[in-house]
């Protein structure tokens, strides 16, 4: 049975005209380590909405998946007390997020289409790039050449459409410190991990129909990244979000969270749990044979099942080594009950605050033994106990009926002022498939170990040995500017091999005579036509790049 049939049915019976403008299915995958996880330009991830199937494969190449669909949710109140919500789900009722940055607090469909792109860079691409002695539009990898860094004249979006990047967008290594991304001068994307995907989406685009609420007017810069090191870090993917308030409003009691329909292998035999120490929602199998009760479908893990979690590593309110607790962790049913899936902005808001549809605690609608209060934070979370401990509150110990679990993991309240930003980091973590990850016999020890690995490597990243350590040397002087007949390079460090290159505005290298004197180099520029040029000077692992005008 296709797990998506129910949602496909809902989608096709939406009244005509509800979708005046179609969403974009542009997607790419973080696939450098043991996980192959899909992300989409609307901010949702782990699935293929065109086919209605999971797209978060683990182990890579197995055909089995550890997640089905996930998206970022937000809710908060402006100073007049009006509720604002952004909450994406399966797109059957529309989209709250659209690809692209906000211009004057809005995003048109045409501009969104241009930005419906995901830029993907491997560190190996950067290594190859830095090994080049010259950089042209021909030999520079497209992922580096078209990177949407500020001012990049080669920036390109969906279908190769040229983009004008007036404001700060994707991060880059700015070798000459002028704030402009210039890959032909040797500058390159500033990525995390061994592979990174970067994209931008906003909640005030062509429509805001998933939650049916008022948009915030936020712009979200996202980077998904991963490492491939042959260790447990290969079981982790990071999602790094910078959320910028482009609206004139200040938002209070704001919450940000994850809506996640994990679906661990066969979707109908799962349990959920919560680990407060890692602010982590966990999904594990409700029995020791994934899919056994569903006819052993081809996407099931059988008797060797992984355990999967989503852990919030950075949240508003964190300070140094002090981390605020998660605001809430709840699950809901795939039905229209009081603890069913939300359908309105008010219900999405309640879900982010640990409440049912009518605004009261979800604990009121569950048997007393089926919910928990965390002993460390005294906050309500669903199923905080380790299933290996018979004295703790877990679905395994309570012997609940396994099923199709979805959860919402949220931050505590924070303020988001106009023009300000908030930084959020979340990681997908998974254990290796094992016979001890289902109930009975399940323990959270291994998933906590992977979460520890994710946290440790975020705050102390492993060295990126693939990238040369090229740094700026401000002791190098290049003058005069404008230049007439000669251009001088004065370098206080006279040892080491030198590399000098001149480029025109098209990125074409120009060979010019170079002589030396006691203080440095003299370049004969007398043959150059009057125009703007670029010079790259490199000695060993230090570099100076500059623009100059030939008069």
459-464 average pLDDT score: 85
Residue 465, both tokens: 């040995």
**Residue 393 covered by a domain:** yes
Q: What is the pLDDT of residue 16?
A: 33
Question: Measuring CA to CA, how many Å separate 200 from each of 42, 97, 458?
Answer: 9, 10, 22
- Angle at the Cα of 383 (from 379 to 384), degrees rounded to 5? 60
Looking at residue 483, the DSSP 8-state letter turns out to be B
Looking at the structure, tell me whether residues 130 and 248 fall in a common domain: no
Nearest to 328 by CA among 250, 274, 393: 274
How many domains does the chain divide into? Answer: 3
Looking at the structure, tell me whether residues 247 and 289 fall in a common domain: yes
Question: Measuring CA to CA, how many Å separate 61 from each of 12, 35, 64?
Answer: 32, 9, 8
**Residue 168 covered by a domain:** yes
323 φ, ψ to 5°? Answer: -120, 130
Decide if pLDDT at 152 tops 80. Answer: yes
Decide if pLDDT at 14 tops 50. Answer: no
Q: With contact defined as beta carbons under 8 Å apart, do 317 and 324 qualify?
A: yes
Q: What is the pLDDT of residues 54-82, one digit of tens each?
A: 999 999 999 999 999 999 999 999 999 99
436-461 average pLDDT score: 94
Looking at the structure, tell me whether residues 208 and 193 fall in a common domain: no
- What number of helices (H) and strands (E) belong to the chain? 7, 33
What percent of the chain is predicted at pLDDT more than 90?
62
Looking at the structure, tell me whether residues 229 and 335 fall in a common domain: yes
Looking at the structure, tell me whether residues 332 and 476 fall in a common domain: no
Q: What is the pLDDT of residues 83-94, one digit of tens each?
A: 999 999 998 888
Whole-angstrom Cα Rg for the chain:
26
In angstroms, rounded to a whole number, what is the distance separating the alpha carbons of residues 204 and 9?
27
What is the per-residue DSSP string for 162-209? B----S--S-EE-TTSSS---GGGT-EE---SSEEEEEEEESSSS---
Residue 139, both tokens: 């030999």
379-390 average pLDDT score: 87
Q: What is the pLDDT of residue 532?
A: 84
Q: What is the pLDDT of residue 128?
A: 84
State whether residue 419 is helix, strand or coil: coil
Q: What is the pLDDT of residue 106?
A: 80
**Is the bond preceding residue 64 a cis peptide, omega within 30 degrees?**
no
**Is the bond preceding residue 475 a cis peptide, omega within 30 degrees?**
no
Write the CB contacts of 422 (distance below 8 Å, at least 6 apart in sequence): 242, 243, 256, 316, 414, 416
Report for 19-28, 157-166, 285-294: range of highest mean pLDDT: 157-166
Looking at the structure, tell me whether residues 168 and 226 fall in a common domain: no
Decide if pLDDT at 120 tops 90. Answer: yes
What average pLDDT does the chain have? Answer: 86
In angstroms, rounded to a whole number, what is the distance separating the alpha carbons of residues 45 and 55?
8
**Residue 102 covered by a domain:** no
**Residue 466 covered by a domain:** no
Quick one: three-class SS letters along 197-246? EEEEEECCCCCCCCCCCECCCEEEEEEEEECCCCCHHHHEEEEEEEEEEC
**Residue 114 covered by a domain:** no
Write the CB contacts of 36 (distance below 8 Å, at least 6 apart in sequence): 29, 30, 55, 56, 57, 58, 60, 61
Q: Which residue, 164, 197, 230, sits at the end of a domain? A: 197
249-253 average pLDDT score: 97
What's the predicted TM-score (pTM) here? 0.84
386-404 average pLDDT score: 91
Decide if pLDDT at 376 tops 70. Answer: no
Could you tell me which residue, 427 or 550, shows the higher pLDDT? 427
Decide if pLDDT at 492 tops 60. Answer: no
Nearest to 307 by CA among 192, 426, 196, 388: 388
Could you tell me which residue, 287 or 8, shows the higher pLDDT? 287
Q: What is the pLDDT of residue 547?
A: 80
199-208 average pLDDT score: 96
160 φ, ψ to 5°? Answer: 85, 10
**Residue 84 covered by a domain:** yes
193-199 average pLDDT score: 97
Residue 421, CA atoms < 13 Å, CB-side half-sphere:
10
**Residue 382 covered by a domain:** yes
Beta partners for residue 228, in sequence order: none
Looking at the structure, tell me whether residues 52 and 144 fall in a common domain: no
- Domain region containing 494: 472-550
Q: With contact defined as beta carbons under 8 Å apart, do 442 and 436 qualify?
A: yes
Q: Which residue, 154, 174, 197, sits at the end of a domain? A: 197
Cβ burial of 488 (10 Å; 0-12, 13-18, 19+) is: middle
In angstroms, rounded to a whole number, what is the distance separating the alpha carbons of residues 291 and 295?
6
Task: Return the number of other C-beta atoms located less than 10 Å from residue 293's C-beta.
Answer: 14
In angstroms, rounded to a whole number, what is the distance separating the alpha carbons of residues 358 and 347?
8
Q: With contact defined as beta carbons under 8 Å apart, do 203 and 218 qualify?
A: yes
Report for 5-9, 253-257, 525-529: range of highest mean pLDDT: 253-257
257-265 average pLDDT score: 94
Looking at residue 376, the DSSP 8-state letter turns out to be T
**Residue 298 covered by a domain:** yes
370 φ, ψ to 5°? Answer: -100, 15
Write the CB contacts of 250 (distance below 8 Å, at least 6 apart in sequence): 78, 79, 415, 416, 417, 418
Q: What is the pLDDT of residue 468?
A: 44
471-481 average pLDDT score: 74
In angstroms, rounded to a whole number, what is the distance separating the alpha carbons of residues 421 and 437?
39
| Band of residue 19 on the pLDDT scale cut at 50, 70, 90 | very low
Looking at the structure, tell me whether residues 126 and 245 fall in a common domain: no
Decide if pLDDT at 526 tops 90. Answer: yes
| Band of residue 168 on the pLDDT scale cut at 50, 70, 90 | confident
Residue 211, both tokens: 């939650």
Decide if pLDDT at 473 tops 70. Answer: no
| Band of residue 333 on the pLDDT scale cut at 50, 70, 90 | low
Looking at the structure, tell me whether residues 370 and 403 fall in a common domain: yes
Looking at 336-426, list the stretches that DSSP marks H as alpha helix, in order from N- to C-terminal side: 345-351, 395-398
Nearest to 402 by CA among 383, 388, 389, 380: 383
Residue 179, CA atoms < 13 Å, CB-side half-sphere:
4
Looking at the structure, tell me whether residues 276 and 355 fall in a common domain: yes
CATH number at residue 506: 2.60.40.10
| Band of residue 471 on the pLDDT scale cut at 50, 70, 90 | low
277 φ, ψ to 5°? Answer: -65, -25
Least confident window among 143-157, 348-362, 514-528: 348-362
244-251 average pLDDT score: 96
Looking at the structure, tell me whether residues 407 and 357 fall in a common domain: yes
| Band of residue 368 on the pLDDT scale cut at 50, 70, 90 | low
Q: What is the pLDDT of residue 393?
A: 86
Looking at the structure, tell me whether residues 93 and 130 fall in a common domain: no
First and final C-alpha spacing in the chain: 72
Looking at 288-359, list the stretches that DSSP marks H as alpha helix, in order from N- to C-terminal side: 345-351
Give the neighbor-by-neighbor strand order of the sheet with 531-539: 471-472, 542-550, 531-539, 498-503, 509-510
Could you tell me which residue, 434 or 467, shows the higher pLDDT? 434
248 φ, ψ to 5°? Answer: -80, 0
Question: Measuring CA to CA, how many Å separate 129 from each of 25, 95, 257, 501?
Answer: 30, 38, 38, 15
CATH number at residue 207: 2.70.98
Q: Which residue, 197, 220, 246, sits at the end of a domain? A: 197
């Amino acid at each position: 049975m296709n797990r998506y049939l129910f949602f496909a049915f809902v989608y096709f019976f939406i009244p005509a005209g509800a979708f005046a403008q179609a969403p974009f299915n542009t997607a790419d995958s973080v696939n450098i380590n043991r996980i192959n996880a899909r992300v989409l330009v609307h901010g949702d991830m782990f699935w293929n909405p065109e086919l209605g199937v999971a797209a978060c494969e683990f182990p890579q190449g197995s055909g089995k998946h550890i997640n089905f669909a996930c998206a970022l949710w937000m809710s908060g109140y402006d100073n007049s007390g009006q509720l604002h919500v952004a909450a994406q789900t399966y797109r059957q009722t529309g989209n709250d997020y659209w690809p692209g940055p906000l211009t004057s607090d809005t995003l048109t469909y045409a501009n969104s289409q241009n930005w419906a792109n995901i830029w993907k860079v491997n560190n190996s691409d950067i290594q190859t790039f830095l090994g080049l002695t010259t950089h042209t539009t021909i030999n520079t990898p497209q992922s580096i050449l078209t990177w949407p860094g500020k001012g990049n004249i080669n920036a390109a979006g969906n279908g190769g459409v040229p983009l004008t990047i007036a404001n700060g967008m994707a991060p880059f290594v700015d070798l000459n410190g002028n704030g402009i991304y210039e890959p032909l001068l040797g500058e390159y994307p500033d990525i995390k991990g061994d592979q990174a995907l970067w994209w931008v989406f906003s909640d005030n685009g062509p429509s805001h129909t998933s939650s049916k609420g008022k948009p915030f007017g936020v712009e979200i810069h996202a980077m998904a990244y991963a490492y491939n090191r042959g260790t447990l870090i290969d079981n982790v993917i990071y999602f790094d979000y910078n959320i910028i308030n482009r609206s004139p409003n200040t938002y209070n009691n704001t919450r940000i969270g994850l809506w996640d329909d994990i679906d661990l292998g066969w979707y109908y035999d799962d349990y959920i749990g919560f680990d407060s120490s890692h602010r982590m929602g966990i999904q594990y199998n409700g029995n020791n044979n994934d899919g056994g009760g569903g006819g052993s479908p081809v996407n099931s893990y059988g008797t060797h099942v992984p355990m999967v979690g989503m852990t919030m590593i950075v949240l508003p309110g964190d300070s140094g080594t002090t981390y605020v607790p998660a605001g809430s962790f709840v699950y809901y049913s795939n039905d229209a009950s009081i603890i069913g899936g939300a359908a309105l902005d008010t219900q999405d808001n309640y879900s982010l605050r640990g409440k049912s549809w009518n605004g009261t605690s979800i604990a009121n609608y569950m048997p007393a033994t089926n919910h928990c209060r965390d002993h460390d934070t005294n906050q309500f979370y669903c199923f905080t106990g380790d299933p290996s401990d018979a004295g703790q509150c877990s679905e395994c110990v309570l012997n609940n009926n396994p099923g199709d679990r979805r959860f919402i993991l949220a931050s505590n309240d924070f303020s988001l002022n106009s023009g300000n930003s908030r930084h959020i980091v979340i990681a997908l973590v998974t254990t290796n498939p094992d016979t001890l990850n289902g109930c009975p016999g399940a323990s959270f020890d291994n998933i906590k170990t992977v979460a520890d690995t994710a946290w440790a490597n975020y705050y102390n990243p492993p060295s990126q040995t693939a990238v040369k350590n090229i740094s700026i040397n401000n002791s190098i002087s290049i003058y005069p500017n404008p230049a007439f007949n000669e251009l001088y390079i004065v370098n206080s460090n006279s040892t080491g091999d030198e590399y000098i290159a001149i480029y025109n505005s098209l990125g074409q290298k120009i060979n010019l005579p170079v002589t030396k004197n006691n203080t440095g180099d003299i370049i004969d520029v007398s043959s150059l036509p009057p125009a703007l040029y670029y010079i790259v000077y490199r000695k060993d692992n230090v570099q100076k790049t500059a623009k100059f005008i030939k008069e």
